[in-house]
């Protein structure tokens, strides 16, 4: 049976590879791509999404969404993706235009028309939060909402406390995480270490000799340099493709638990931190004598703690072959 997907993205280089994975998946129908400001300005994100759709020979509609976070100033991660979001490769302009209408309306319409759809979010959650504000009932019509975002009790990439997508629009993230939407959080840490493409992986992908393989590596050349500068590891982390792999093949997440979570929206120091009740003390709260652990019983979401890195890489190579 064909699975329906809607992808919300701030289309830069790793997003583009995630789009390719979905667009090239035989059993998946990507009903729409909605673009949000994040890595790059929304119009550049639209351009990069259209270019990627054309590269895959697809005709998926791309909708222009939020130009800025709900409350925070606009911030773009140029240093991680380049001034064009695609490794400064200066690819030609796409031939196609964005679909008419607003991305938030398109997201609501897509969920209403496809109950049981899977949402995959690859950027800040501004569009999704606005959609939930306008149509709260969509939270119950989505089967899965796989979110590339946050880090599960470990160091972040935009600050020590936070991962970029959640940090960029923490108010939107908090609203989405507390909406009752069936969120599955796939944190940045899962794209590091064993899941990051090492020089051998990169050589293997380059040896595929396909336009998609060359595109995936070329447009992520700045990301590779940035990841090495940030972490010291000579490897390419691809967080959006990891989240997309989990969306397409849930078994790739080998350890998933539901926990109470909350998102820091007050502090500058820990803005965008996803605070996870990893010990599930919230479940034990009634069992403790006075003075037990303090945890706010908010809403539980699914957190992916571990992935099968080899399976992720197999899926990635297959999509680029
Ligand atoms: O922190 C990684 C996330 O931020 C990825 O989605 C990447 O594309 C950037 O948006
Ligand atoms: Ca992204």
C-alpha 182/C-alpha 175 separation (Å) is 13
Distance 123 CA to ligand 1 centre (A): 6
* 15 in contact with ligand 1, CB cutoff 6 A: yes
Say how many Å lie between the CA of residue 290 and the centre of ligand 1: 42
151 Cβ closer than 6 Å to some ligand 1 atom: no
Is the model's pLDDT at 270 over the cut of 80? yes
Integer Cα distance of 319 and 321 in angstroms: 6
Tell whether ligand 1 has an atom less than 6 A from the beta carbon of residue 85.
Answer: no
Pairing outcome for strands 183-186 and 253-263:
unpaired
Kindly give the residue spans of alpha helices, DSSP state H, lying in the chain: 13-23, 42-55, 78-81, 103-113, 126-134, 164-168, 170-177, 199-206, 211-218, 221-231, 239-248, 281-284, 309-320
Residue 176's pLDDT is what? Answer: 98
Over residues 210-217, mean pLDDT: 98
Q: How far is the CA of 150 from the centre of ligand 2 (A)?
A: 12
Residue 290's pLDDT band (cuts 50, 70, 90): confident
d(CA 114, CA 123): 22
Q: Which of 155, 163, 164 to mutate to test the pocket of ligand 1 (most atoms within 8 A of CB)?
A: 164
Cα–Cα distance between 286 and 280 in angstroms, integer?
12
30 contacts 58 by C-beta, under 8 angstroms = yes
The β-bridge partners of 184 are 146, 302
Structure tokens at 31: 């009903």
Cα 209–chain centre separation: 27
| Residues, the chain | 321
3-class secondary-structure state, position 45:
helix
Verify whether ligand 1 is closer than 6 Å to residue 188 (CB atom): yes
Q: Does residue 165 have its Cβ closer than 6 Å to ligand 1?
A: yes
Q: Find the 165 Cα to ligand 1 centroid distance in Å.
A: 6
DSSP string, 206-242: HTT--HHHHHHHHTTHHHHHHHHHHHS--SB--HHHH
Best mutation site among 9, 15, 127, 158 for ligand 1, i.e. most ligand atoms within 8 A of its Cβ? 15
> Rounded to the nearest whole angstrom, what is the distance from the C-alpha of residue 155 to the centroid of ligand 2?
18
Cα–Cα dist 186/312, whole Å: 13
3-state SS class at 105: helix
Q: What is the pLDDT of residues 36-56, one digit of tens each?
A: 999 999 999 999 999 999 999
Mean pLDDT of the chain: 96
* HSE, side-chain direction, 13 A CA sphere, residue 275: 16
Taking the chain, what is the end-to-end CA distance rounded to the nearest angstrom? Answer: 24
Ligand 1 pocket residue status of 14, Cβ below 6 Å = yes
Q: Is the CB of 245 under 6 A from ligand 1?
A: no
Is residue 297 over pLDDT 80? no
Indicate whether residue 169 lines ligand 1 (CB < 6 A): no
**The pLDDT value given to residue 178:** 96
Residues 91-136: tens digit of each pLDDT: 999 999 999 999 999 999 999 999 999 999 999 999 999 999 999 9
Q: State the DSSP code for 289.
A: P
The candidate with the shortest Cα–Cα distance to 312, out of 209, 242, 226, 207, is 242
Q: Is 184 in the pocket of ligand 1 (CB under 6 A)?
A: no
303, 257 Cβ separation under 8 angstroms: yes
Tokens of 142: 């989505």
d(CA 194, ligand 1 centre) in Å: 18
Asked if residue 38 has its Cβ within 6 Å of ligand 1, the reply is: yes
Given the structure tokens 């703690």, which residue do they identify? 305
Q: Evaluate whether 259 touches 276 at the Cβ level (below 8 Å).
A: yes
Provide the pLDDT for residue 288: 85
What is the tens place of the pLDDT at every residue in 66-85?
999 999 999 999 999 999 99
Q: Which residues pair with residue 63 across a beta bridge?
A: 34
Regarding the beta carbon of 122 and ligand 1, being less than 6 Å apart is answered yes
Name all domains of the chain by residue range, CATH numbers in brackets.
3-320 (3.90.245.10)
Q: Sorting pLDDT into bands at 50, 70 and 90, what band is 291?
A: confident
What ligand 1 atom has the least distance to the C-alpha of 164?
1
């Amino acid at each position: 049976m064909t699975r329906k997907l809607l992808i919300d993205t701030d289309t830069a280089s790793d997003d583009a590879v995630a789009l390719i994975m979905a667009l090239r998946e035989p059993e998946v129908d990507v009903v729409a791509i909605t673009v949000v400001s994040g890595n790059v300005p929304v119009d550049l994100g639209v351009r990069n999404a259209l270019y990627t759709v054309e590269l895959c020979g697809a005709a998926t509609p791309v909708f222009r969404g939020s130009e800025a976070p709900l409350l925070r100033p606009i911030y773009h991660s140029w240093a991680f993706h380049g001034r064009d979001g695609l490794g400064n490769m200066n690819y030609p302009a796409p031939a196609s235009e964005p679909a008419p209408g607003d991305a938030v309306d398109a997201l609501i319409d897509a969920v209403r028309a496809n109950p049981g759809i899977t949402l995959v979010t690859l950027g800040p959650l501004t569009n999704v939060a606005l959609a939930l504000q306008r149509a709260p009932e969509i939270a119950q019509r989505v089967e899965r909402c796989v979110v590339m975002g946050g880090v599960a009790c470990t160091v972040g990439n935009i600050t020590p406390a936070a991962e970029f997508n959640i940090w960029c629009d923490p108010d939107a993230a908090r609203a989405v995480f507390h909406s009752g939407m069936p969120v599955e959080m796939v944190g940045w840490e899962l794209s590091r270490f064993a899941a990051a493409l090492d020089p051998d992986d990169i050589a293997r992908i380059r040896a595929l000799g396909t336009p998609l393989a060359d595109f995936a590596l070329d447009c992520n050349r700045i990301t590779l340099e940035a990841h090495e500068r940030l972490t010291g590891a000579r490897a390419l982390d691809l967080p959006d493709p990891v989240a997309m792999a989990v969306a397409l093949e849930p078994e790739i997440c080998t350890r998933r638990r539901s926990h109470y979570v909350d998102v820091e929206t007050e502090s500058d120091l820990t803005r965008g931190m996803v605070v996870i009740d990893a010990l599930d003390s919230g479940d034990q709260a009634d069992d403790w004598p006075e003075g037990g652990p303090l945890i706010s019983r908010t809403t539980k979401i699914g957190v992916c703690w571990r992935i099968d890195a080899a399976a992720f890489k197999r899926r990635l190579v297959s999509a680029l072959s």
